[in-house]
């Protein structure tokens, strides 16, 4: 058995700006039980699109998927980078968070080359969505792309 190691690299000023954009979106949109996560996507044209997590009593829709859906439904430029922040209570400050398993599947499927900011060992690193799910679900006979 071998370990699966994900390639990471240091974040840069563009990544830090993306974390700030997600933080601003959550500062504006936070609502207990409704909006606890915000995601910011930087597009190939330099613009930034944000999305808020949509929570209800029984179902949560992730901010990352909401943001990607906005980009795709509006025919915007290709997403190239993602950062997400989470805030659980009114008293909390938004903190960078990594995408959940469903987001790793969905965003890794749609935009595997997109980078994502991840908390790691007390700091932040950057990885590719396509690398976050190294053993994805496949149809019989299908091979990973």
The conformation of residue 41, written as its DSSP 8-state character, comes to E
3-class DSSP assignment, residue 108: helix
Tally of CB atoms within 10 A around 20: 15
Q: Report the nearest approach of Zn ion to the CB of residue 53 (Å).
A: 8
- Residue 11 or 63: the one with the smaller Cβ distance to Zn ion is 63
Query: Residues 1-40: x/- map of binding to Zn ion (CB under 5 A)?
Result: ----------------------------------------
Contact 87, 36 (CB under 8 A): yes
Whole-angstrom distance, CA of residue 69 vs CA of residue 143: 26
Closest to 63 in 3D by CA, of 84, 32, 48? 84
User: How many residues belong to the site for Zn ion (CB under 5 A)?
Assistant: 3
103 binds Zn ion (CB under 5 A): yes
**Residues 37 to 66 in contact with Zn ion, rule: CB under 5 A:** 62
Q: In angstroms, what is the minimal distance from the CB of 1 to Zn ion?
A: 28
Minimum CB separation from Zn ion for residue 7, in Å? 21
Read off the tokens for 131: 């690398």
Both structure tokens of 55? 């929570």
Identify which of residues 76 and 105 has a Cβ nearer to Zn ion in the complex.
105
Q: Which residues bind Zn ion (CB under 5 A)?
A: 62, 100, 103
């Amino acid at each position: 058995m071998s370990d699966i190691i994900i390639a990471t690299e240091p974040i840069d000023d563009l990544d830090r700006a993306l974390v700030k954009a997600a933080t601003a979106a959550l500062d504006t949109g936070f609502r207990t039980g409704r909006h606890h996560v915000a995601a910011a996507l930087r597009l190939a044209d330099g613009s930034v699109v944000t999305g808020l997590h949509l929570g209800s009593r029984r179902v949560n829709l992730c901010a990352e998927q909401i943001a990607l859906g906005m980009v795709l439904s509006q025919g915007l430029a290709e997403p190239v980078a993602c950062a997400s922040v989470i805030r659980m209570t009114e008293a909390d400050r938004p903190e960078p968070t990594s995408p959940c398993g469903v987001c790793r599947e969905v965003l890794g499927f749609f935009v595997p080359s997109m980078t994502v900011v991840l908390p790691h060992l007390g700091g932040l690193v950057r990885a590719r969505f396509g690398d976050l799910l190294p053993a994805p679900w496949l149809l019989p006979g299908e091979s990973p792309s």
